[in-house]
Structure 1
Amino acid sequence: MTETPGSPAAAAQPVHFKIVVDAADPHAQADFWAAALHYEVEDNGAFIDRLLAAGAAPAELTVESHGRRAWRDLIAVRHPEDPYQEDTGTGLGRRLLFQRVPEPKTVKNRIHLDLHPGTDRRAAEVARLEGLGASVVREVSEFGAEWVLMRDPEGNEFCVH
């Protein structure tokens, strides 16, 4: 049976997504978040090399990062246990994509990440994240719950529960 767009069977399938974060320095942000989440920075080097060799992408759109070719203005991190496309290095599961934008962050995030290391590990995790370059904004105790509001190195808010 073939599914047609708009059919109930087609509508019931989950949609793959990634979270995209605007950044002044996408590679530094990817390194921070890969360390913060214990994720891996995606390796798109072989794919980029193929595109360059075929003349499909100009070299000025790339940089050297972690000893391999990477896109200058885009870099992603992915969960190490999730599948990925071997020919491109692109993750197919949980991932964050950092894209360079010219303007600086000026207002509170409309979306943010909540990290859940567990109540017994919260303080150690906050200290570890500070060591990676994050900063504590404040400790929160509301509605019977406690968490720490933090900022990543570019000022994006996130919470540690």
Structure 2
Amino acid sequence: MAREWKLVVDCADPIRLARFWAEALDYQVEDNSALIDRLVAAGAVPPQAYVEVAGRKAWRELAAVRHPDDPVDPASGTGLGRRLLFQAVPEPKQVKNRLHLDLHVGPDGRDAEVERLVALGATVLREVADRGSVHTTMADPEGNEFDVQ
């Protein structure tokens, strides 16, 4: 039986990275405010566990983005399909990723996509033409590598 999954990215600022990747992928930042409100009302979540973002409560140390066409659990705001979860960790990124995303835009759209991602806060690391692949290796605002093909 196939398994459901999510990709979890350790980071320093989950809210910032979720916003970046939501824009980069044309995904939606998950809205967990209803869940947080319930947990706060029940006394299960202290005030330091969440922050106010764009007029709604968001987890301070967790933020996720989801594909806009995938279902959502209405009770929690959690995506039930393709999603990336960003979680705060105390240590900074130190080495090259062992796992990365490839954004497929095609050769005619690559330059414009790279320019758009730079405007969102990404940086170009290098241009690659190797083993039949031509792509741009970039880094997100926290230095996580990804490729634009």
TM-score between the two structures when normalised by the length of structure 1: 0.91
- Counting matched residue pairs gives 149
Matched, 1:133 2:121: yes
In structure 1, C-alpha distance between the alignment counterparts of 2:76 and 2:132, rounded to whole Å: 45
Deviation sequence 1:80-131 (CA, Å, 0-9, x none): 0011101110000000000001111010001000000111111100000000
Offset at residue 56 of structure 1 (A): 1.7
Rg larger for: 1
Give, in whole Å, the separation in 2 of the partners of 1:106 and 1:41.
Answer: 27
Q: Distance in 2 between the 1:104 and 1:121 partners?
A: 33
Say which of 54, 73, 81 aligns to 1:93.
81
Q: Aligned partners of 2:30 and 2:83: how far apart in 1?
A: 9
SS at match of 1:119: coil
Question: What do the CA deviations read for 1:12-69 (whole angstroms, capped 9, x no partner)?
Answer: x211110000111110000000000000000000111011101122121111112100
Superimposed CA distance per residue, residues 107-160 of structure 1 (whole angstroms, 9 cap, x where no aligned partner): 000100000011111110000000000000010001122000000010000000
Q: Which residue of 2 aligns with 1:79?
A: 67
Point out the more displaced range, 81-90 or 52-61: 52-61
Give identity over the alignment, percent.
62
Structure 2 unaligned segments of length 5 or more: list them. none
Structure 1 counterpart SS, 2:8: strand
CA RMSD after TM alignment: 0.7
Alignment of 1:28-47 (within 5 A): 28-47=16-35
Give TM-score scaled by structure 2 length. 0.98
Q: Distance in 2 between matches of 1:96 and 1:67?
A: 22
Q: Which has the higher contact order (CA 8 A, sep 6+)?
A: 2
Q: Which runs of 4+ in 1 moved over 6 A?
A: none
| Secondary structure class of the residue paired with 2:19 | helix
Q: Distance in 2 between matches of 1:134 and 1:57?
A: 34
Q: How do 1:1-161 and structure 2 match up within 5 A?
A: 13-161=1-149
